[in-house]
């Protein structure tokens, strides 16, 4: 008799989910079917993971979101055609029109990933998907050539898009910027509506989800539909159509504060099946270059590096799939919590956020990088914040920290700090999200000693649309003053970054003057910080 361990079952389940996303597509009957109305328009199109000679194009067919089996479509397979036309017509640069076909299959939620190569570097393209008489188009851009030194890069970074709390004004403003690319740092969807956060005596929701609103998502069909409800939003569609996206996940793509295959709620049964469903829907619905993400030990490797000439290397980290469970996390309510080191010695135990293989990968990538800037992009805050001034705590003076951030994994965080300190010449910059507020932070060599050297800056973006957190009591703790160069938790927003050979500049964009009826807002770009090459100190310039 063969006995399978939970680890064996986990690997088999995740491998099955990964294979379902990327199994070879074979021609089959019904592929020539033509829908009666445009199945590309409801969810729009997208591109992502740009390289110097290619990009991935994405589309998903749907007509009826109430139908989680066929999405209102009659056939099991549809053949699409795609075409790319360069927008820069200057002579002698190559990379003319590219075109091809792809199959949208029912078993993959009718999602299509097309990986196009042979394109010209640092060039804008218009791409179009066509099915029958229907089309949908977007624009994208390739990365600079491997050894080029661009004059500058312009990109936006964002996170946390809870659908009901606010309209997606931040996405609309990003689209207007027409950046070279957009980095999404996680929580692209939320797996539940989080009604408990909004018990303020009145329902001030901007809108309501049509489907699966009353219960957390569990099945592939539910996760697919949640992505579809987000993607049906015209503001999000404009952001996807404006530039290629480079994405990683945080927790809400599966469940709040989960860690690997461990639920934050210890009473939840069959959580592995939920992880598999969430991961499958994620890879189906985002413009990720799946061929570059190997399946190892039953898991699809999401962490990856994208190069932008010799100017910048972007390291997209995965801080959910490999992490150990949070220290001392089970106490009345599930999920992350603010906890004192005196109450929880295991905060200093040998635990990991990235897992050994990913930590080694980061070390190798930084060691070999020849880029002027090395950006580490991931979900949760990296800089250490002292949280004992939380209003729910009274009179505590010992160190406190939020156990779901890097601060809750003290040895793992210190290994990353030491790595960056040894590689200071690599000009490392952290981009983070999750906390629903703008922060500009200093990462100190010793978290206990804020007089120690600053080894890297961290830029943390406010939420696209999730609720605003009032963090002023914590920010006001004198222990945090040397850490925090800037904080704003008054509005939703995103970050707009401009990178040159000599500086990394970030504008903390605030979304203000919101008018839900007119669907308009104003973008306040009055706060800007700059880091000079060779100096990790963030300087306010506006």
Ranges of each domain in the chain: 6-23+30-540
Give the 3-state secondary structure of 76-143. Answer: CEEEEEEEEEECCCCCCCCCCCEEEEEEEEHHHCCEEEEEECCCCCCCEEEEEEEECCEEEEEEEECC
Residue 14 confidence (pLDDT):
56
CA distances from 416 to 339, 347, 376, 413 (A): 22, 16, 11, 5
Q: Where are the alpha helices (DSSP H) in 307-408?
A: 356-368
Higher-confidence position of 64 and 96: 64
CA distances from 57 to 61, 385, 484 (A): 14, 39, 39
- Contacts of residue 187, defined as CB under 8 A and 6 or more positions apart, other chains included, come to 159, 160, 161, 162, 249, 250, 251, 252, 253, 379, 433, 434, 463, 466
pTM of the full structure: 0.94
Q: Are 21 and 80 in contact (CB under 8 A)?
A: no
Spell out the CATH class of 6-23+30-540: alpha beta
- Alpha-carbon distance of 379 to 377, in angstroms, equals 7
Higher-confidence position of 204 and 83: 83
Mean pLDDT value across the chain = 91
pLDDT digit string, tens, across residues 334-351: 678 899 999 999 999 999
Residue 229 confidence (pLDDT):
98
Among 124-133, 271-280, 391-400, which is the least confidently predicted range? 391-400
If pLDDT is split at 50, 70 and 90, which confidence band does 21 have?
low
149 phi and psi angles, rounded to 5 deg: -125, 90
- Alpha-carbon distance of 397 to 302, in angstroms, equals 39
């Amino acid at each position: 008799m063969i006995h399978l361990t939970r680890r064996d079952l986990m690997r088999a389940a995740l491998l099955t989910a990964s294979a379902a996303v990327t199994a070879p597509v074979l021609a089959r009957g019904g592929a020539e079917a033509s829908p009666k109305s445009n199945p590309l328009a409801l969810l729009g199109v997208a591109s992502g993971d740009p390289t110097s000679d290619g990009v991935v194009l994405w589309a998903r067919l749907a007509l009826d979101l109430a139908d989680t089996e066929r999405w209102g479509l009659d056939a099991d397979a549809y053949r699409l055609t795609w075409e790319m036309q360069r927008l820069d017509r200057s002579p002698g640069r190559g990379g003319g029109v590219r075109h091809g076909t792809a199959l949208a299959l029912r078993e993959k939620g009718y999602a299509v990933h097309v990986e196009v190569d042979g394109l010209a570097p640092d060039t804008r393209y218009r791409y179009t998907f066509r099915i029958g008489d229907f089309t949908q188009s977007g624009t994208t851009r390739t990365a600079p050539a491997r050894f080029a030194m661009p004059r500058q890069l312009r990109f936006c970074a964002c996170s946390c898009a809870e659908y009901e709390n606010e309209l997606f004004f931040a996405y609309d403003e990003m689209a207007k910027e027409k950046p070279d690319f957009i980095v999404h740092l996680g929580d692209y969807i939320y797996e539940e509506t989080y009604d408990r956060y909004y018990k303020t005596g009145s329902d001030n929701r901007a809108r309501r989800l049509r489907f699966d609103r009353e219960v957390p998502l569990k099945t592939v069909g539910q996760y697919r539909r949640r992505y579809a409800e987000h993607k049906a939003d015209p503001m999000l569609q404009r952001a996807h159509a404006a530039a290629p996206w480079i994405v990683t996940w945080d927790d809400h793509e599966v469940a709040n504060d989960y860690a690997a295959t461990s639920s934050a709620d210890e009473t939840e049964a069959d959580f592995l099946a939920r992880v598999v469903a969430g991961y499958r829907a994620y890879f189906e619905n985002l413009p990720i270059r799946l061929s570059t993400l190997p399946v190892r030990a039953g898991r699809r490797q999401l962490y990856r590096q994208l190069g932008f000439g010799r100017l910048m290397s972007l390291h997209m980290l995965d801080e959910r799939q490999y992490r150990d469970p949070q220290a001392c996390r089970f106490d009345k309510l599930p999920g992350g919590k603010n906890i004192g080191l005196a109450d929880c010695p295991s905060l200093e135990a040998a635990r990991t956020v990235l897992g050994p293989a990913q930590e080694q990968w980061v070390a190798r990538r930084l060691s070999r990088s020849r880029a002027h800037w090395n950006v580490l992009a991931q979900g949760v805050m990296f800089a250490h914040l002292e949280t004992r001034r939380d209003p729910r705590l009274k009179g505590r003076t010992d160190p406190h920290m939020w156990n779901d951030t890097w601060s809750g994994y003290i040895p793992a965080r210190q290994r990353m700090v030491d790595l960056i300190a040894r590689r200071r010449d690599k000009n490392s910059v952290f981009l983070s999200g999750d906390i629903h507020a703008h922060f500009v932070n200093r990462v100190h060599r010793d978290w206990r000693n804020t007089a120690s050297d600053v080894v890297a800056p961290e830029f943390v973006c406010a939420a696209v649309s999730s609720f605003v957190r009032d963090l002023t009591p914590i920010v006001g703790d004198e222990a945090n003053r040397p850490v925090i160069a800037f904080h704003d938790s008054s509005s939703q927003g995103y970050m707009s970054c401009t990178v040159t050979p000599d500086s990394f500049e970030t504008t903390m964009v605030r979304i203000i003057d919101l008018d839900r009826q007119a669907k308009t807002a104003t973008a306040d770009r009055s706060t800007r910080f700059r880091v000079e090459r060779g100096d990790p100190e963030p300087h306010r310039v506006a």
